[in-house]
């Protein structure tokens, strides 16, 4: 048996091999054969380079298209939230726009009541939970919102950290008992204070990524900015207005 291996070389690095087998004698391959196979290997390496380049270009184009869609949707959300003084009037339109870039089966917006250490469920898109209904006033203690309030950071919950988070925030148990397997809690921050939370829930496991969380934080910034859109003489509020249209 004869075996011939021709390296596929790309930028002076071996990226693979062309392999040839023959049942004939060990010296079956002639010099002309080897030179021909080397030419074929070089052509094949060039094809791989071109295919990789085309795939990379396609991925870049897809990324730009998705980024453009994200920015367009964020702008639409800003316009919706700034279109009225009564933010509750436009929550429905807001939720539909959000769904274009972040999947969810249930979305909730909560408002913190600092005087009573409670929060109010201000808006819900999706099924109502038995212990979490629209308009309910709920103690902060032991909830995911309390954790977000303390850390001032978003909380991404999936299969790997679910049990640990529930032990720290037992108030989340009702969410997961209702069949939701993935969750994102985003703090709504205005004037450097956490005023509420934006909660995304999905019945699919590990559906949310760090990229989704960063995008959700951009959405949350729009909501928090819309809570104080017409405060005269407040430079932070003015910056919030520009963020809606920038």
Q: Report the predicted TM-score, pTM, of the whole model to 2 decimal places.
A: 0.64
Distance CA 228, CA 220 (A): 14
The per-residue pLDDT for 239 is: 35
Dihedral sign for Cα 11, 13, 15, 16, please: positive
The per-residue pLDDT for 77 is: 76
Q: Which position has the higher pLDDT, 85 or 149?
A: 149
Which superfamily, per CATH, for 82-245? GAF domain (3.30.450.40)
The per-residue pLDDT for 117 is: 94
The per-residue pLDDT for 241 is: 29
Per-residue pLDDT tens digits for 6-49: 676 766 667 666 666 666 555 555 666 666 667 766 776 676 66
Portions of the chain given CATH number 3.30.450.40: 82-245
Per-residue pLDDT tens digits for 147-194: 999 999 999 999 999 999 999 999 999 899 999 999 999 999 988 999
Q: What percent of the chain has pLDDT over 70?
A: 62
Per-residue pLDDT tens digits for 184-220: 999 999 889 999 999 999 999 999 999 899 999 989 9
The per-residue pLDDT for 111 is: 92
């Amino acid at each position: 048996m004869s075996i011939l291996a021709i390296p596929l070389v790309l930028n002076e690095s071996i990226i693979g091999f062309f392999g040839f087998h023959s049942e004939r004698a060990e010296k079956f391959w002639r010099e002309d054969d080897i030179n021909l196979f080397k030419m074929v290997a070089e052509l094949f390496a060039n094809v791989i380079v071109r295919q990789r380049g085309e795939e990379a270009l396609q991925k870049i184009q897809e990324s730009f298209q998705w980024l453009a869609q994200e920015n367009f949707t964020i702008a639409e959300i800003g316009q919706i939230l700034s279109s009225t003084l009564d933010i509750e009037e436009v929550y429905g339109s807001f939720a539909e726009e959000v769904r274009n870039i972040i999947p969810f089966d249930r979305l909730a917006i909560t408002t913190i009541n600092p005087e009573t250490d409670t929060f109010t469920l201000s808006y819900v898109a999706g099924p109502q939970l038995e212990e979490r209904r629209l308009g309910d006033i709920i103690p902060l203690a032991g909830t995911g919102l309390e954790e977000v309030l303390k850390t001032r950071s978003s909380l991404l919950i999936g299969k790997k950290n679910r049990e640990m988070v529930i032990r720290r925030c037992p108030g989340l148990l009702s969410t997961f008992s209702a069949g939701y397997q993935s969750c994102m809690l985003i703090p709504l921050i205005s004037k450097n204070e956490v005023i509420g939370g934006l909660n995304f829930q999905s019945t699919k496991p590990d559906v949310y990524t760090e990229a989704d969380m960063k995008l959700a934080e951009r959405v949350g910034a729009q909501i928090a900015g819309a809570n104080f859109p017409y405060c005269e003489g407040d430079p932070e509020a003015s910056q919030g207005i520009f963020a809606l249209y920038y």
